[in-house]
Structure 1
């Protein structure tokens, strides 16, 4: 196995371990909530003026699939839609009180996971961080270009 394959397999293995470890705690603390709902709530909580297009791009899903998720979230009372006075065409989303509570629980869990993993990151030098981030940015741009070749523009509005 060459180094390129080792890097890809290591990324996949690392990601799968994080998901597995975090999933147990997430499911326990957010019982009854679907992962797609929680991540949609997280995105709306972190991004002002979230809309179907931005959510679809962020999750690499179709706008119609995101529309279904947001309609369910509205029906369940986690988010609400609104329009700006200067743009009556576009529909945006914001969290309700109930949505903010889910967001808070999810955010606290992420902080707990960060704390758990802190000992590893404390050993990483600035130079190592910069190198890793640089690689990930290059690889991400490459994958964006490949996605765009397939007719999906992840950066459009």
Structure 2
């Protein structure tokens, strides 16, 4: 196995370990919600003027899937839609008070996980983090280019 293969395997293993380790707490505190619902709520809160297109891009889902998901979230009372006075065509989403509660629980859990893992990041220099960030950004751009070459779109 070459170093590139080893790196990709280690990234996958790292992601899987994080998901496995975090899952019980997430399920305990957010047991009434599907992960796709929680991530959509998070994306709406973190992206100003979130619409179907922006959510599809952020969550790597089709616009059709986002439309279904946002309708479900509106029916449950977690989000509401709105339009801007100068653009009656586009529909945007924002969280209701109930949606913000779910968002806050999710954020607190992530904060707890970051605190748990802080010991690792304290051992890494800023230069090393910058190098890792640069690699991840470059690899992400490469994958975006490959997606476009295939004529595929995320939304």
* TM exceeding 0.5: yes
TM bracket, shorter-chain basis: over 0.9
In the alignment, the residues of structure 1 paired with residue 109 and residue 151 of structure 2 have an alpha-carbon distance, to the nearest angstrom, of: 36
Runs of 4+ residues deviating >2 angstroms = none
Unmatched segments (≥5 aa) in structure 2: none
The reply to whether residue 77 of structure 1 matches residue 77 of structure 2 is yes
Shift of 1:152: 2.9
Counterpart check, 1:34 vs 2:34:
yes
Over residues 69-115 of structure 1, what are the superposed CA-to-partner deviations in whole Å (9 max), with x where a residue is unaligned? 00000000000000000000000000000000000000000000000
TM-score, normalising length from structure 1? 0.96
Aligned twin of 1:93: 93
Count of paired positions: 155
Residue 50 (structure 2) aligns with? 50
Q: Normalised by the size of structure 2, how large is the TM-score? A: 0.97
Q: Which residue matches 2:147?
A: 147
CA RMSD of aligned residues (A): 1.0
Gaps of 5+ in 1: none
Shift, 1:48, TM fit: 1.3
Q: Which has the larger displacement, 54-63 or 33-42? A: 54-63
Aligned to 2:131: 131
Please give the alpha-carbon distance, in whole angstroms, between the structure 2 residues aligned to 1:60 and 1:46.
16
**TM-superposed deviation, 1:140:** 0.4
